[in-house]
């Protein structure tokens, strides 16, 4: 109907510009209009005795509208449309050939994509477009045709590949890019910066989506989160995330090498697309452990390679040292030490002020250790991995000692835990000390008592439920129940407001409501914690001796404190699943944890099969003491790295790391169709997103592309039937009104 | 006689007798309440109100476990506050072994334990209390008979743990004060008789029971009377050095219990 009335389709009007082809001078038009309006007005005024004012106004409006329409017609309104000039433009067909495109049932995604590209221009060859073919995976590669194409790409990088195409076609009249893909990108997807860069080329990218967004017959092990370094005898809780599009039952199995460690049934509910399960693993022996997590396949599942992930965990046989500075004898001190008595990896060195003039030291290695009280030098304090400060006033330490504590967290990367007490936290004036900004809370002033010897119940927060440090039981529900069943603590202390980076892991229920009890935050290279009670000892005394909740709490809390503290020398190896490179990052600091730069660092890279070579690590421009390099592994498996620092040719220090690397795995994960990414790509570049049943629109999209060599097509619209009908309507309507009013 | 005269007379007589009994009973030291009102403090002195054997029933005025109460803990708590950083409650407290709140006080004191007779239930409770981390100081019992009576109940608590002499180098003797030179701490009778021992207990023994980690759970002060030394700390006649030693022992045991 639209095209009948207006001569051309709606889309033509949308993509065209309205111009006026008439050459009447403006002054003449104005003169004629003014004269006509004046004449009509005078004529109607002369007949004012016959026509009432409302009727006169109505006729006046109709006649002026008619006049306007005539003047509009005289201006010859025309549609100006840019369209490709036939035979002088090219279009790039880009076909995603990554391995995810091999997925499908009766027809693979790749076959769907190939068919879509081959048929898209079949019915309209008027444009005479030169078609360039590209295969897309990690980069784009030009090919003569798609006849021999196989889904062989081990990675997908849409942004990098399209950029390759656009750069190659920079000096050619490229009208558009037509990309046929499932949108599954293994390099992190299309960032706003990527989209902006692609849009800057000015070439529209039309996307044809293949594949399904929902694959009920597939489940995927999306992520396994667990610490990569633990202490011997630790119970590690791995957080396993599973993606699913329907309800199902599966089982998580954890292998250490060939040995099955754990097998846990998991129910995947229909009301959610992601399920998280917690798996407890015990690794007793020191060394590197290759852990493989796998899911049992569900009925009908084709792709099983995304049901398995591997990771490497280092069980570090290292003794961690914690300094505990306490201002008064109290039960929390006793029971904390008892809780850690059997832990061979944690050494608690404590300095307890038992009387105004006497300190009692425990856990010391020699009579000289701490004989002068709290450490007064960086070297002395930095030799510890964590620091606990109890019920002691800030004024008991000098300004320099407080500064050292500040640096202990920010520079050394140590962990600081402050425990409540009648002379601790706010009561001790720590909120006005030099370490106030280290703390995760804004402590109240010391002029107001904030410590209360009242029993109070502890409440686990959602963040605390997710934190492995606070796991008292194997399952989420059992863990929550364990916390609910704990006896009240003996006291609590008001901490004040939380800082932006603070996370509350435990609350305490007081007579004024819930207050933070265990809070932590990162600070500099380290972490700070507040435990707003000195009364967890009631858990030990109020529960049967067999109950290990109190011991477990303190062991896990203190292990978390020391595990996050870096050594003065460190080496990390990182690489995403499917990535072709492994990044090495080493950091060398002296005993005072100051960066060391006057060294040369070389890493020995060794595969589990024995292949080995050396690579030099370059100093970082931005971070003193940091040396980095990227290496390309030649095979899957476990890779070991040893970074040796040398000064004047003499080795001074060594750091070690390892990683389990698996090449070509990325395409098996996250291979559901990402329609949203393709839509964003098209919108950003002026293209259009198409489903397989919308390919009819592609020829016109190409024809009227804004890129390439174009020509302007002019089409008049003054002779459209709609214009004639409007003229008829205006004049006919006036005539009918006049007859009705008996003025004719 | 007016009607009802004898009834009134009998009633008045009974009231008089009852009132006299009450007044007489309140002369000198008053009856201790079973549970002292809770006072704030990290440490509160808890006196164990145990079940006594037939020889330790005491009388209607005082039980054996009340010996030296309340001055002993009153003086001792002041010493703690003056000599240490322990936040001690000003008042003591009395609890039975079966009182559930005993777990809120990880340090307890029992006196005249030569007369205690713990039943099975009390023994089990005490065992559980000590294994969870509690500490027991026993004091003021003398001679072979009282020792055997004490051991009989203690073996119901720990049938499988020996009572041993506390070694010289044990931290209990050195945690604050070095108690290398120890003397027998007598009761106040010493001021009358000049004799530091009683009931045949001529040699003082500092003994203990340890847990599996080698930590002292029970300090057994046999053939001495530390409680009396605390109680009579303000007696000019009671020797100062014995009082000082008694304070040192008590403080050492307390600090030891709060650090081990």
Instruction: Say how far residue A15 (Cα) sits from the centre of its chain.
Output: 38
Chain A interface includes B9 (CB < 8 A): no
Is A332 strand, coil or helix? helix
Q: Establish whether the linkage from the previous residue to A494 is cis, with ω within 30° of 0.
A: no
> What ipTM goes with this model?
0.84
With a cut of 50, say whether residue B36 has pLDDT above it: no
Nearest to A358 among B176, B257, B260 (CB): B176
* Cβ within 8 Å, pair B84-A355: yes
Nearest to B83 among A330, A355, A543 (CB): A355
pLDDT mean over A8-35: 84
| Tokens 């004639």, residue located | A724
| Pick from A417, A580, A554, A431: nearest CA to A494 | A431
pLDDT mean over A717-723: 89
Residues whose CB falls within 8 Å of the CB of residue B162, separated by 6 or more in sequence, listed in order: B209
What are the tens digits of pLDDT across the range A423-434? 999 999 999 999
| Tokens 């080995």, residue located | A612
Asked if residues A136 and A705 have their Cβ atoms less than 8 Å apart, the reply is no
Closest CA in chain A for residue B100: A542
Beta-bridge mates of residue B219: B137, B208
Query: With bands split at pLDDT 50, 70 and 90, how would you rate the model's confidence at A244?
Result: very high
Rounded Cα distance, B249 and B231, in Å: 14
| Tokens 């003994």, residue located | B207
Pick left, alpha or beta for residue A369 (phi over 0 → left; psi -120 to 50 → alpha; otherwise beta): beta
Tokens of B245: 């030693």
Tokens of B210: 């340890």
* Cβ within 8 Å, pair A355-B42: no
Closest CA in chain A for residue B107: A331
| Pick from A538, A457, A550, A547: nearest CA to B100 | A538
CA distances for A527 relative to A376, A385, A519, angstroms: 21, 11, 11
* Cβ within 8 Å, pair B41-A453: yes
What are the tens digits of pLDDT across the range A56-109? 888 889 989 998 888 888 888 888 888 878 888 889 999 999 988 888 878 889
Tokens of B80: 């703690």
Closest CA in chain A for residue B125: A544
Nearest to A330 among B83, B175, B258 (CB): B258
Is B161 strand, coil or helix? coil
| Pick from A90, A114, A86, A84: nearest CA to A176 | A90
Q: What is the pLDDT of residue A439?
A: 97
Rounded Cα distance, A492 and A517, in Å: 8
Residues in chain B: 260
Query: With bands split at pLDDT 50, 70 and 90, how would you rate the model's confidence at A491?
Result: very high
Query: With bands split at pLDDT 50, 70 and 90, how would you rate the model's confidence at B29?
Result: very low
| Pick from A184, A404, A204, A400: nearest CA to A306 | A184
Element (H, E) at A366: none
B-interface mutation test, from A328, A343, A354, A492, most B Cβ less than 10 A away: A354
CA angle A115, A121, A125 (to 5 degrees): 145
Nearest to A328 among B83, B85, B106 (CB): B85
What are the tens digits of pLDDT across the range A257-315? 889 999 999 999 998 999 988 888 888 888 878 889 999 999 999 888 889 888 888 88
CB atoms within 10 A of CB A301: 19
* Cβ within 8 Å, pair A328-B128: no
Chain A interface includes B175 (CB < 8 A): yes
Give B42's contacts in chain A (Cβ within 8 Å). 328-331, 422, 453
Q: What is the pLDDT of residue B47?
A: 97
Rounded Cα distance, B46 and B44, in Å: 6
Closest CA in chain A for residue B105: A541
b vs e for B68-97, b when ≥16 Cβ sit within 10 Å of the residue's Cβ?
A: bbbbbbbbbbebbbebbbbbbbebbbbbeb
Q: What is the pLDDT of residue A33?
A: 86
B14 or A435: whose pLDDT is higher?
A435
Nearest to B133 among A328, A338, A362 (CB): A338
| Pick from A103, A144, A478, A414: nearest CA to A280 | A478
Tokens of A434: 């030099």
With a cut of 50, say whether residue B37 has pLDDT above it: no
Quote the strand ranges of A229-374, DSSP E.
229-230, 235-244, 248-256, 259-268, 274-282, 287-295, 308-315, 320-326, 346-355, 358-362
Question: Pairing mode, if any, of strands A77-84 and A710-716?
Answer: antiparallel
With a cut of 90, say whether residue B212 has pLDDT above it: yes
Closest CA in chain A for residue B257: A334
Query: With bands split at pLDDT 50, 70 and 90, how would you rate the model's confidence at A577?
Result: low
Residues in B 35-54 with any Cβ partner in A closer than 8 A: 40-42
Lowest mean pLDDT among A166-170, A401-405, B139-143: A166-170
CA distance B191 to chain A (A): 32
pLDDT mean over A683-704: 89
Q: Is A367 exposed, middle or buried (0-12, 13-18, 19+ CB in 10 A)?
A: exposed
DSSP 8-state assignment for residue B107: E
B-interface mutation test, from A334, A349, A546, most B Cβ less than 10 A away: A334
pLDDT mean over B115-140: 96
Nearest to A360 among B42, B132, B175 (CB): B175
Chain B interface includes A356 (CB < 8 A): yes
* Cβ within 8 Å, pair B259-A334: yes
Nearest to A354 among B41, B84, B103 (CB): B84
Rounded Cα distance, B252 and A249, in Å: 61
Lowest mean pLDDT among A251-255, A439-443, A586-590, B207-211: A586-590
Q: Is B177 exposed, middle or buried (0-12, 13-18, 19+ CB in 10 A)?
A: middle
Give B86's contacts in chain A (Cβ within 8 Å). 328-330
What are the tens digits of pLDDT across the range A46-67? 888 877 888 888 888 998 999 8
DSSP 8-state assignment for residue A695: G
Average pLDDT, chain A: 89
Query: With bands split at pLDDT 50, 70 and 90, how would you rate the model's confidence at B25?
Result: very low
Chain A interface includes B26 (CB < 8 A): no
What are residue B246's phi and psi, to 5 degrees? -65, -40
With a cut of 50, say whether residue B35 has pLDDT above it: no
| Pick from A78, A108, A106, A81: nearest CA to A95 | A108
Rounded Cα distance, B241 and A300, in Å: 88
Q: Is B8 exposed, middle or buried (0-12, 13-18, 19+ CB in 10 A)?
A: exposed
Residues whose CB falls within 8 Å of the CB of residue A456, separated by 6 or more in sequence, listed in order: A488, A489, A491, A492, A508, A509, A510, A533
With a cut of 70, say whether residue A506 has pLDDT above it: yes
Query: With bands split at pLDDT 50, 70 and 90, how would you rate the model's confidence at A565?
Result: confident
With a cut of 90, say whether residue A161 has pLDDT above it: yes
pLDDT mean over A4-11: 86
Chain A interface includes B213 (CB < 8 A): yes
CA distance B87 to chain A (A): 8
Residues whose CB falls within 8 Å of the CB of residue A213, separated by 6 or more in sequence, listed in order: A672, A673, A674, A675
* Cβ within 8 Å, pair B259-A538: no
Provide the Cα torsion A391, A435, A416, A408; round to 10°.
-130
* Cβ within 8 Å, pair A422-B255: no
Is A260 strand, coil or helix? strand
Chain A interface includes B85 (CB < 8 A): yes
Residues in A 440-479 with any Cβ partner in B closer than 8 A: 453
CA distance A431 to chain B (A): 23
Is A161 strand, coil or helix? helix
Give B106's contacts in chain A (Cβ within 8 Å). 331, 334, 537, 541
* Cβ within 8 Å, pair B258-A327: no
With a cut of 60, say whether residue B38 has pLDDT above it: no
Chain A interface includes B189 (CB < 8 A): no
Chain A interface includes B106 (CB < 8 A): yes
Provide the percentage of residues in chain A whose pLDDT is more than 90.
Answer: 51
b vs e for A413-450, b when ≥16 Cβ sit within 10 Å of the residue's Cβ?
A: bbbbbbbbbbbbbbbbbbbebbbbebbbbebbebeeeb
What are the tens digits of pLDDT across the range B52-93? 887 776 666 678 899 999 999 999 999 999 999 999 998 899
CA distance B49 to chain A (A): 20
DSSP 8-state assignment for residue B105: -
With a cut of 50, say whether residue A481 has pLDDT above it: yes
Chains A–B, number of C-beta pairs less than 8 Å apart:
80
Give B176's contacts in chain A (Cβ within 8 Å). 354-355, 358, 360
pLDDT mean over B11-30: 52
For chain A, report the end-to-end CA distance as a whole number of angstroms: 36
For chain B, report the end-to-end CA distance as a whole number of angstroms: 77
Q: What is the pLDDT of residue B15?
A: 66
| Pick from A672, A681, A669, A569: nearest CA to A626 | A569
Asked if residues A506 and A553 have their Cβ atoms less than 8 Å apart, the reply is no
Q: What is the pLDDT of residue B28?
A: 39
With a cut of 50, say whether residue B179 has pLDDT above it: yes
pTM of the predicted model as reported, rounded to 2 decimal places:
0.71
Quote the strand ranges of chain B, DSSP E.
46-48, 93-95, 107-111, 135-139, 164-165, 205-210, 216-222
Q: What is the pLDDT of residue A521?
A: 97
Provide the Cα torsion A516, A522, A527, A533; round to 10°.
0
Query: With bands split at pLDDT 50, 70 and 90, how would you rate the model's confidence at A512?
Result: confident
* Cβ within 8 Å, pair A537-B133: yes
| Pick from A629, A678, A675, A636: nearest CA to A154 | A636
Give A337's contacts in chain B (Cβ within 8 Å). 259-260
B-interface mutation test, from A326, A328, A329, A546, most B Cβ less than 10 A away: A329
DSSP string for residues in A535-603: -THHHHHHS-TT--HHHHHHHHHHHHHHHTSPPSEEEEEE--TT-S-EEEEEEEB-TT--B--S-EEEE
Asked if residues A163 and A685 have their Cβ atoms less than 8 Å apart, the reply is no
DSSP string for residues in A190-258: --HHHHHHHHTT---EEEEE-S-S--TT-EEEEEEE--SEE-TT-EEEEEEEEEESS-EEEEEEEEETT
Chain B interface includes A352 (CB < 8 A): yes
What are the tens digits of pLDDT across the range A196-219? 999 999 999 999 999 999 999 999
A-interface mutation test, from B39, B44, B85, most A Cβ less than 10 A away: B85
Rounded Cα distance, A349 and A387, in Å: 10
């Amino acid at each position: 109907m639209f095209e009948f009335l207006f001569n051309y389709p709606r889309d033509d009007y949308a993509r065209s510009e309205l111009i006026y082809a008439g050459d009447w001078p403006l002054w003449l038009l104005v003169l004629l209009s003014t004269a006509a309006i004046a004449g009509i007005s005078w004529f109607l005024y002369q007949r004012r005795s016959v026509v009432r004012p409302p009727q006169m106004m109505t006729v006046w409006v109709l006649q002026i509208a008619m006049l306007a329409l005539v003047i509009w017609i005289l201006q010859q309104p025309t549609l100006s449309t840019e369209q490709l000039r036939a035979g002088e433009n090219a279009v790039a067909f880009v076909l995603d050939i990554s391995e995810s495109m091999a997925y499908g049932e009766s027809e693979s995604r790749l076959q769907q994509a190939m068919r879509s590209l081959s048929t898209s221009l079949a019915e309209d060859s008027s444009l005479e477009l030169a078609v360039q073919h590209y295969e897309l995976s990690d980069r784009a590669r030009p090919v003569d045709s798609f006849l021999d194409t196989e889904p062989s790409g081990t990675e997908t990088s849409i942004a990098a590949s399209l950029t390759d195409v656009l750069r190659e076609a920079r000096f050619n009249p490229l009208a558009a890019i037509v990309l046929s893909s499932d949108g599954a990108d293994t390099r992190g997807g299309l960032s706003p910066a990527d989209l902006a860069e692609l849009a800057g080329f000015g070439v529209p990218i039309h996307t044809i989506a293949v594949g399904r967004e929902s694959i009920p017959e597939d489940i995927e092990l999306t992520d396994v989160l667990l610490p990569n370094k633990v202490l011997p005898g630790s119970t590690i809780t791995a957080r396993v995330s599973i993606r699913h599009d329907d309800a199902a039952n599966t089982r998580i199995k954890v292998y250490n090498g060939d040995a099955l460690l754990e097998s846990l049934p998991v129910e995947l509910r229909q009301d959610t697309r992601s399920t998280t399960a917690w798996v407890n693993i015990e690794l007793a022996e020191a060394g590197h452990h290759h852990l493989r997590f796998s899911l049992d396949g569900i009925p009908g599942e084709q792709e099983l390679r995304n049901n398995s992930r591997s990771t490497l965990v280092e069980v570090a046989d290292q003794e961690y040292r914690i300094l505990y500075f306490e201002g008064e004898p109290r039960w929390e001190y006793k029971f904390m030490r008892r809780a850690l008595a059997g832990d061979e990896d944690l050494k608690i060195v404590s300095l307890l002020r038992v009387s105004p003039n006497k300190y009692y030291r425990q856990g010391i290695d020699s009579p000289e250790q701490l004989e002068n009280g709290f450490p007064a030098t960086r070297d002395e304090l930095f030799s510890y991995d964590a620091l606990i400060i109890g019920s002691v006033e800030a004024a008991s330490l000098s300004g320099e000692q407080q500064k050292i504590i500040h640096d202990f967290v920010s520079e050394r990367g140590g962990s600081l835990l402050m425990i409540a007490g009648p002379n601790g936290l706010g009561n001790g004036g720590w909120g006005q000390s030099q370490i106030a900004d280290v703390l995760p809370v804004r402590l109240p002033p010391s002029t107001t008592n904030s410590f209360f010897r009242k029993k109070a119940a502890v409440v686990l927060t959602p963040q605390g439920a997710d934190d492995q440090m606070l796991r008292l039981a194997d399952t989420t529900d059992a863990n929550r129940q364990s916390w609910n069943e704990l006896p009240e603590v003996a006291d609590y202390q008001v901490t004040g407001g939380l800082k932006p980076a603070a996370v509350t892991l435990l609350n305490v229920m007081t007579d004024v409501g819930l207050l933070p009890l265990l809070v932590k935050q990162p600070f500099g290279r380290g972490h700070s914690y507040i435990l707003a009670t000195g009364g967890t000892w009631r858990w030990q005394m109020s529960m049967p001796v067999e109950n290990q909740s109190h011991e477990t709490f303190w062991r896990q809390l203190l292990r978390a404190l020391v595990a996050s503290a870096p050594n003065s020398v460190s080496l990390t190896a990182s690489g995403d699943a499917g990535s072709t490179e492994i990044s090495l990052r080493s950091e060398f600091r002296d005993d005072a944890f100051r960066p060391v730069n006057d060294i040369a660092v070389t890493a020995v890279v060794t595969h589990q099969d024995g292949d080995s070579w050396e690579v030099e690590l370059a100093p970082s421009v931005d971070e003193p003491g940091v040396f980095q390099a990227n290496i390309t592994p030649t095979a899957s498996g476990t890779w070991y790295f040893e970074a040796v620092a040398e000064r004047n040719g003499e080795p001074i220090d060594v750091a070690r790391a390892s990683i389990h690397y698996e090449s070509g795995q990325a395409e098996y994960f996250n291979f559901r169709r990402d329609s949203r990414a393709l839509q964003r790509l098209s919108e950003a570049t002026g293209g259009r997103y198409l489903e397989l049943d919308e390919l009819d629109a592609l020829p016109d999209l190409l024809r009227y592309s804004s890129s390439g060599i174009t020509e302007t097509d002019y089409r008049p619209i003054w002779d459209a039937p709609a214009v004639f009908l409007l003229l008829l309507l205006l004049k006919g309507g006036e005539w009918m009104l006049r007859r009705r009013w008996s003025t004719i | 006689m007016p009607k009802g005269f004898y009834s009134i007379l009998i009633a008045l007589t009974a009231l008089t007798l009852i009132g006299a009994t009450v007044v007489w009973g309140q002369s000198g030291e008053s009856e201790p309440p079973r549970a002292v009102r809770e006072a704030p403090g990290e440490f509160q002195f808890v006196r164990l109100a145990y079940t006594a054997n037939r020889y330790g029933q005491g009388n209607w005025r005082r039980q054996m476990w009340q010996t030296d109460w309340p001055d002993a803990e009153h003086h001792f708590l002041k010493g703690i506050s003056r000599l240490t950083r322990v936040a001690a409650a000003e008042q003591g407290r009395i609890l039975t072994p079966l009182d559930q709140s005993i777990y809120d006080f990880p340090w307890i004191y029992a006196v005249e334990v030569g007369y205690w007779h713990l039943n099975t239930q009390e023994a089990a409770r005490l065992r559980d209390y000590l294994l969870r981390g509690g500490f027991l100081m026993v004091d003021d019992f003398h001679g072979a008979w009282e020792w055997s009576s004490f051991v009989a109940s203690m073996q119901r608590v720990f049938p499988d743990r020996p009572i041993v002499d506390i070694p010289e180098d044990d931290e209990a003797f050195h945690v604050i004060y070095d108690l290398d030179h120890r003397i027998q701490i007598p009761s106040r009778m010493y001021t009358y008789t000049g004799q530091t021992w009683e009931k045949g207990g001529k040699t003082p023994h500092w003994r203990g029971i340890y847990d599996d980690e080698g930590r002292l759970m029970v300090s057994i002060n046999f053939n001495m009377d530390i409680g009396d030394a605390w109680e009579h700390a303000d007696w000019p006649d009671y020797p100062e050095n014995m009082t000082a030693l008694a304070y040192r022992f008590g403080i050492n045991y307390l600090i030891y219990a709060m650090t081990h």
